[in-house]
Each structure stands twice: as C-alpha cells, then as structure tokens.
Structure 1
Amino acid sequence: MFASLASTFLLASSLIVGVIAKPVPVSRDLGPRGSTSFNNWGGLSSFGNFDNFYGVDNFDSSVHFTQVVDTSSHLVCHTQAIEVIQQRLLVIQEMAKRIVLEQVCEVETQTVVFQQFHASLGLFQNDLHRVSGNQVGFDSSIASHFSSIVQTDGSLSTDDFGFTGLDLGSSSTVVGGSNWNVLTSPASVSAAFGAANGAVPGLH
C-alpha cells in the first residue's frame, strides 16, 4: 500500500516540469502570533534548532509564506472510490505517528512537533474554503520526497532532504478539474464542513 502511494506521488511529481511563475507573496496570518522560541525548550537537546525550520514567529507556517505556482503543470483530479482515499490518508496519518514516536524520545518534543504538524496541515482547510488567498495546491518538490521516508529495509530514513518549512509553497502545483463554483460552493463547502464537524465527538 505504501509503495502504491509513493508511486502516485512520484507520478505526480514527474509531471512537474517547465518554467515557474514569478513569486506571488500571500499572507496566511490569521491573527496575532507570539514569538515563542522552542530552541532547547525546557532544556531538552531534542529541541535544538527547532525554530530554524519555520522561524521563531512562524510556528505553523501561516505567517511567512510565499506561494509560487508552476504554470506548466496540468494535473487534473480523477475521482476514486472514497475508501481508496481514506486508506491512503490513514497510511499518512499512521506514518506521521510512527515518525513522531520512533524518531523522537522526549514526550515534550513529541507533543510540540506533532502540534506543529497538526496546525500546519490544518491551514489547508482555509485553502479548500478559498478564503486563504492561496491557490489550492500542494508543493510538488516537497511531496517528491515521500518515497524516501522509508528505506528499502522498511526502517525510517534519517537523510536530510535539504529544505525547511520556509520553502513550503515555492513549487506549488494546482490540480484542476474540481467542481468549485464561485456562486454556490462557498455555501456548500461550509455546509460540508459543518456536517463533518458535527460528526466529530466533542466538537458539538
């Protein structure tokens, strides 16, 4: 299953070639942020250089973000059985847990780095609602490293992929073919979001 998901990402990334559009600065600032530093937080060495990834004032990547869209890519969505989508997202979910638990030993660091992951991923909801100011897409350069997370023997890799969170969005690919309608979709997406939240215990 993992190999199949990796192949999907690699196929998508292989289609991303050509000239990149000029940077279009986009702010995702959703409110005032503090400048809490997590470098060596609590005296734990596992927090060393934590702030270097997104920045001390950019914990979830929402403040300093520049999206550069690859205008040469022509990816189009193809509807699959919902079970197929749910399976792949669950694989990613469980891999995130494995990375946090297997490659971090201090529970405090596990807590903070997972919260950072959760908060940053949650920003995608604003893109789906078309309220973030971003084009809805994914970073193909970062996604292309997916197959390198696990080594051939099944163990997690420890390679430095050579990017930071500040590179997020610099190779954005927009996938076409959705049914978004500027007149009706804001209401229907909000209704879908409300229904989903209503199905989550503790949120209603």
Structure 2
Amino acid sequence: MVAKLASAFLIASACIWGTDAKPIPKNKILPRGSPISFNNWGGFSSFNNFDNFYGVDNFDSSIHFSQVADTSTQVVCHTEAIEIIQQRLLVLQEMAKRIILEQVCEVETQTVVFQQFHASLGLFSSDLTHVSGHSVGFDSSIASHFSDVCLSDGSLSTNDLGFTGTDVGLHTAVVGGSNWNDATSPASVSSAFGAANLAVSSLH
C-alpha cells in the first residue's frame, strides 16, 4: 500500500517544500522542538495510545529508523506502461482515504493521522534521490500484509496485524535493476524532482 502514496504524496510533499526546494543533505542537522504527544490529544478517545506506534519523539518515523537487508528474496524492477503504475498507485491512494474515513470518526484524529502518514511517506523522496543515506527499498514483511487489509467481503479488517511503525525497515528488500548512476543520476533526478515540483506549484 505504500507505493501510490509514494507518487502522489511525493509530489504533494514537493508542493509543500516549494518550487525552489532541493533535497536536504543527509548530514544536515535541523533544529528540533520538544516532542508533541498525541496520546488522548484534545480529550479524544480515538487518540488513545497514538504515540505507541512510532513513539512520542518519532512522529514521522524519521528518528528511530533502522534498516536490515532482507536477502531471502532477490527483487529486480521491470518496466510497465506508466498508466499501469498510475492506476495501482491511485488504488492505494483511495484505499488510504477509505481507511482514514471509515475507521476514524473524529475529524481531528483523521487530520493528525493523515499528516503522520503523509510525512512518513514523504521520507521516501529522500531515499529515491539518494540523499537520506538509506537503501532504496521497501519493508517486505509489512508489505506482505497488503491482502490482510480487506476481508473477503470487501470490508476493512480490524484485527491487529502484529507490527508497529518502528518495525519498518527491519526486513528491507532492496530492488535492483534501476538505472541509477552515481555520476549522472544526482543531476537528472534533481531535474525530474524540480519538474514535478513545478507541475504541482503551477496548479496552486
């Protein structure tokens, strides 16, 4: 499910950063404020245990993150028609909306959990541009639960899938076969990022 949200929200993140944004170098240290706890935030019961998933000081999963390569499966990319990719990513986007709207009733919690989701997914942008220092991959263990999101009748499941946000990266499948070139890709990817950024900003 992480995939679409990685195209739509990568571009959405670009819009937030602004048209002149450039990837943040991995050694750049930004000032951090005091962690904000959302446990029972605003007195809403739907925020109960909110911080348990990523941690009170890890809202977007960027602080407490570690990767362990999953070598049990070799994954290599292959090219499909762009419409096929866009269709599947759109399915994931709309499923994310459905989960938030059907399984949360308080609009305040909907707002915060979406911002958490958006921020966490947006981190993938710095992986793709190779400035995060992380391997470019996905968590194969968590991705394997895709079929557990819905029940056989099409309704959303409600059972605990048995992981938390801090488990992301512990079974990282690194996908091979991309055209990344250390000499030329930083410039070409920056150009692509900028073009996407301009496409978003031109609409607003």
Q: TM-score range by the shorter chain?
A: 0.7 to 0.9
Contact 1:76 1:176 (8 Å CA) reproduced: yes
CA distance in 1, matches of 2:111, 2:130: 30
Match of 2:111, as an amino acid?
T
Percent identity between matched residues is 73
Match of 1:75 in 2: 75
How far does residue 30 in structure 1 lie from its aligned partner after superposition? Answer: 6.0
Residues 14-163 of structure 1 aligned to structure 2 (within 5 Å): 31=30, 32-163=32-163
CA distance in 2, matches of 1:163, 1:135: 21
Distance across 1 between alignment mates of 2:186 and 2:156? 40
CA–CA distance in 2 between the matches of 1:67 and 1:201?
A: 33
Kept after mapping to 2: 8 A contact 1:62/1:120: yes
Give the TM-score normalised by the residue count of structure 1: 0.84
The alpha-carbon deviation at position 70 of structure 1 amounts to 1.4
1:190 aligns with 190
Residues in 1 aligned to 2:162 and 2:28: alpha-carbon distance in whole angstroms:
26
- Matched letter for residue 144 of structure 1: S
For 1:12, the equivalent position in structure 2 comes to none
Give yes or no for contact 1:29–1:62 (8 Å, CA) kept in 2.
Answer: no
Q: Is the 8 A contact 1:197 1:203 kept in 2?
A: no
The residue identity in structure 1 corresponding to 2:38 is F
Q: 1:200 to 1:192 in 2, by over 3 A?
A: same
Q: How many residues align?
A: 179
Q: Is the 8 A contact 1:76 1:177 kept in 2?
A: yes
CA 1:29/1:145 → structure 2, altered by over 3 Å: closer, same or farther?
farther
TM-score of the pair, normalised by structure 2:
0.84
Structure 1: how far apart are the matches of 2:177 and 2:105?
Answer: 43
Query: What do residues 124-149 of structure 1 show as CA deviations (whole Å, max 9, x unaligned)?
Result: 00000101010000000000000110
- Residue of structure 1 equivalent to 2:177: 177
Match of 2:165 in 1: 165
Distance in 2 (alpha carbons) for counterparts of 1:30 and 1:87 = 37
Q: CA RMSD in A?
A: 1.9
Distance 1:99 1:64 in 2: 25
CA offsets 1:92-140 (integer angstroms, 9 cap, x no match): 0000000000000000000000000000000000000101010000000
In the alignment, structure 2 segments of 5+ residues that lack a partner are: 2-25
Partners of 1:119 and 1:50 lie apart in 2 by 16
User: Structure 1's 42 and 28: CA in aligned 2 closer, same or farther, altered over 3 A?
Assistant: farther
Equivalent pair of 1:30/1:62 in contact (CA under 8 Å): no
**Distance change >3 Å, CA 71–CA 116, structure 1 → 2:** same
Shift of residue 29 of structure 1?
A: 8.7
Distance 1:29-1:46 versus aligned 2 partners, 3 A rule: farther
